Structure 1
Amino acid sequence: MKIMVAIKRVIDYAVKIRVKPDKSGVETNNVKMSMNPFCEIALEEALRIKESGLASEVIAVSMGPTQVVDTIRTGLAMGADRAIHVDYPGTLYPLSVAKILKALVEIEKPGLIFLGKQAIDDDCNQTGQMIAGLLKWPQGTFASKVVLDKEKQTAVVDREVDGGLETLCLDLPAVITADLRLNQPRYATLPNIMKAKSKVIKKLTPEDLKVEIKSDIEVVKVTEPPKRKAGVLVSSVDELIDKLKNEARVV
């Protein structure tokens, strides 16, 4: 069984985000970029499944401009067998990404697709659900535990919901999106980083996959969140309740 893992290049989680002066987006020039943390978790889980003997190959997939290749190399250094880069210079929104993944699934025919539950740049949390809908595959989102049964061709997924944990049994092929507590991703070792340089990255375009890219989302304006106001000391419970009711309006 092949496992396909979608990975995304985002601004590194430790970088302080700066909004562009024209408020059209966030500044990415000369900013450190890295693999989306949830995508790292998804890739780690795919690698563990392969190492347990339940999968034959892990394919990393990423989309975007030429710079995305650096992120793909990180995935290969972690242990992915090969990679696919869908070259597209513009912005790709979740539905377009899902359509590209669907086209790649028809070519590669994986038994399982792993994604991060969301990307830390747009926080959309849509791509996994959309690709499952387009493929008509079962889905397990927000996965905190995944157990595969090779004989039954099923995946048992514990997923985190507001009320606690929900357990799903999915028939394969299926789509699974990784939550934070699924695993702890490994670090790429120096020998594997060197090996990654010789691993295959197949380059495609949306045109090659016969996928029409069109924007279904319009970004009107990007602004920083309002700065937090300084706290105040109150002298009594009655004053606290009065402020919560009349100023904060939360009670």
Structure 2
Amino acid sequence: MKIVVCIKQVPNTNEVRINNETGTLIRDGVESIINPDDLNALEEAIKIKEARQDVHITVITMGPAQADSALREALAMGADEAILISDRVFAGSDTWATATVLSSAIKKIKDYDVVFCGRQAIDGDTAQVGPEIAEFLGIPQITYVKELKVYDDKVVATRAYEEGSFVIESKMPVLLTAIKELNEPRFMDLRLIYKAYSEEADCKVWSAEDIEVDVTQIGVKNSPTKVYKTYVPVKEFSGELINGNPKDVAVKCVEEINNLNLI
């Protein structure tokens, strides 16, 4: 069985800063992490590998050279192969263009049975890339997977939604998007860290030419989504300090709550 896991390196959202002139994220000096939902996707792939003897996990990401560190972390967790898809022509790609690139890479990998993605990335929160990849590949998709059973030629997944869940069966190949309820991602394996961060690690780099992607469908100029403005919301806090003995303070608090119609 061949499993492909799509991951994304994202900035730690607690430290996001925006360049006011360009409207882009300032990544210098900001910690980068593997997108949390993608870790759940990777963990599930590794669990399948542990339960079977014939599983090969390939992890892919599209991004700049620094995204190599995310791939090596995935190798240290238990993936078998990592591929960085990196080219200047990819810069500024929206979800449609990103899915175009990733699906082209997956087509080059060939003979995949399951493609895993995280539900959504914390820097965009669109939840679009996974489903778009499935559409470009022409394979079924099950999103928001919170439970999964894998058989020889099919999967049975429990798909979460606002008011409950569905149990859905699909033949392979299939694309699945993972949510945090699916599992608890593991830490890197001490036995694998040295190999993952060595020059001998199976970590490839593919360009646009390598994956034979249509360059008229990628990059900022060819992305159908146009961002008008990007900014960090300003958080404003206001309040009133009430002094006095505990009884008077309690009475005053109740009065204020009543005035605000909160009870």
Q: Which bin holds the TM-score, normalised by the shorter protein?
A: 0.7 to 0.9
- Computing the radius of gyration from Cα coordinates, the structure with the larger value is 2
TM-score normalised to structure 1 length: 0.88
Q: Any residues of structure 2 matched to 1:136-175 within 5 Å, and which?
A: 136-150=138-152, 153-175=153-175
Q: Which residue matches 2:44?
A: 45
- After superposition, what is the alpha-carbon deviation per residue over 1:70-98, rounded to whole angstroms, capped at 9, x for unaligned? 11111111111011111124233221222
- After superposition, what is the alpha-carbon deviation per residue over 1:147-190, rounded to whole angstroms, capped at 9, x for unaligned? 0111xx11111111011112111111100001011111111133
Q: Secondary structure at the match of 1:227?
A: coil
Q: Secondary structure at the match of 2:260?
A: helix
Q: Partner amino acid for 2:115?
A: I
Q: Which residue matches 1:4?
A: 4
Number of aligned positions between the proteins: 240
Q: Any residues of structure 2 matched to 1:70-109 within 5 Å, and which?
A: 70-89=69-88, 90-108=91-109, 109=111
Structure showing the higher helix proportion among its residues: 2
Q: Which residue matches 1:66?
A: 65
Q: Distance in 1 between matches of 2:61 and 2:194?
A: 20
Give the counterpart of 1:203 among 198, 202, 205. 205
**Per the alignment, do residues 230 and 166 of structure 1 end up closer, same or farther by CA in structure 2, a change over 3 Å counting?**
farther
Q: Distance in 1 between matches of 2:188 and 2:257?
A: 54
Q: Indicate conservation of the 8 Å contact 1:23/1:223, yes or no.
A: no
Q: Indicate conservation of the 8 Å contact 1:81/1:199, yes or no.
A: no
Q: Which residue matches 1:217?
A: 225
Gaps of 5+ in 2: 241-252
Quick one: percent identity of the two aligned structures?
32
Q: Partner amino acid for 2:147?
A: K
TM-score normalised to structure 2 length: 0.84
